[in-house]
A and B are shown apart, each in its own frame.
Chain A
Amino acid sequence: MIPAAFDYVRVESVAEAISALTEHGDDAKLLAGGHSLLPLMKLRLATPSVLIDVGRVPDLSYVRDEGDHVAIGALTRHHDVNHDPVLARHVPLLADVAGKVGDPQVRHRGTIGGSIAHADPASDLPAAVLALGGSMVARGPNGDRVIPAADFFQGFLETALETDEILTEVRVPKAPGGHSYQKFVRRSQDWAMVGVAVARSNGSVGISLVNMGPTPLRASAVEQALAGGASAADAAEQAADGTDPTGDANASPEFRRHLARVLTRRALQEAGL
């Protein structure tokens, strides 16, 4: 399968990327690792007329300890997030989840920024950042703005990024406590039929759901039940409350709701709750 024809623009800096986005607007897409975008282009589900390749922009691949949080450059590959010692120590959920994206070949190419900006609700990293209460740094013609994860994911493959903005950094608060990522798949490299991410920090618990709606979702009912003193098993029963998952060839909505409850219970147990 061959993508529809497009113009290819290679940029060497974030500023050049923003200029190109400003020039081409909605017709353009940013290309980083390309492991979300190129499969869609080959299926002609995405047909951008301009591809702006940011893959060689220097200085956007890093993991930095910033005191209360860890900052991750948007071009940091899943493989590097998975093996980073700062994340392993301070945000083990994120390192763990990055190691469960796709397969080794995908993790060698795919980037955290690309995955999050693509915003597939079946994707692993958006849900992890949501459970952690992280935020995204977007840069546009007027400078940087910081968007909390709760406001970032707005719909199916839809984010708060403007057409002239580029995601440059992901920030996640330190959460060195218990954590778990439960991903239910037929084959290990598949997208999650349903997934559940749990991160604990200073007595609070963040829980998010993968593929239970058009965006990654916070399992608010479970979080509130736990805060109110419910047992993990009782709280997990509320995992599908308020969700409206789709049915597809892999799972019916009923099955997805069942999986959400079971996986949440397992995740809370693995996180030591």
Chain B
Amino acid sequence: MKVAITVNGKREERDVEARRLLVFFLREELGLTGTNVGCDTTNCGACTVLLDGESAKSCTILAAQADGREVITIEGLADGEQMHPMQEAFREHHALQCGYCTPGMVMAAVSLVKEHPNGMSEAEVREGLEGNLCRCTGYHNIVKAVMAVAGSPK
């Protein structure tokens, strides 16, 4: 079947099998391998992308479901050489160890902060990242980075 998905601002048309999952559409059809496959069972969040601006696990979405919609992946966050504030905060706070969860963690965090324009407490950030697992258990600096972008509750 034909699908047309706008990925990182560019309309991408492909002929795919109905069972094509969005994550493999991104990785294999478009070569956007920044989006990782971790658990492949909707648990770990490594495959998180923005679908119409909201965090979603691309291992559990058919490319057909994203047809006509807009996807942003980790490759689409930076503005040229200028990193997205969340990427900058992850770098500043050393919010990664092995880095495998990082793309999904950053995308989930971008969505989370957008939904909390009035700032977030540490507890809210920790709960808000419940859909992303870091098996290095490096959560402490991740939370610091996200809080730096979200700001304290107003």
Contact = CB atoms under 8 A, between A and B. Distances in A.
A51 B131 contact: no
Interface residues of B, number: 33
A10 B1 CA distance: 11
A189 interface: yes
Contacts of B42: 35, 38-39, 102, 106
Contacts of B145: none
Contact of B55 (A3, A8, A53, A108): A108
Interface string A53-82: 101000000000000000000000001000
Nearest to B20: A2
Interface string A148-192: 000000000000000000000000000000000000000111000
B26 to A, nearest CB: 15
Contacts of B41: 1, 39, 42-43
Contacts of B77: none
B19 A3 contact: yes
Contacts, number: 85
A32 to B, nearest CB: 10
B112 A104 contact: yes
A34 B45 contact: no
Contact of B131 (A1, A5, A79, A106): A106
Contacts of B55: 104-105, 108
Question: Which of A38, A105, A188 has the largest count of B CB atoms less than 10 A from its CB?
Answer: A105
Interface stretch (B6-14, B58-66, B78-86, B88-96): B58-66
A51 B1 CA distance: 14
A39 B112 CA distance: 24
B17 interface: yes
A255 interface: no
Given A102-B131, A104-B128, A105-B108, A34 B60 contact: yes
A105 B19 contact: no
Nearest to B115: A104
Q: Is the interface of B mostly helix, strand, loop or mixed?
A: mixed
A4 interface: yes
A2 B21 contact: yes
Residue picked from B51, B55, B108, most chain A C-beta under 10 Å: B55
Interface residues of A, number: 30
A52 to B, nearest CB: 12
B130 A5 contact: no
A2 B65 contact: no
Interface of A: 1-8, 10, 31, 34-35, 38-39, 42-43, 51, 53, 55, 79, 102-106, 108-109, 187-189
Interface of B: 1, 17-19, 21, 24, 40-43, 45, 48, 51, 54-57, 59-62, 64-65, 108, 111-112, 115, 127-128, 130-133
14 contacts: A2-B21, A8-B18, A31-B62, A34-B62, A35-B42, A35-B60, A38-B42, A43-B41, A103-B130, A105-B57, A108-B111, A109-B51, A109-B57, A189-B43
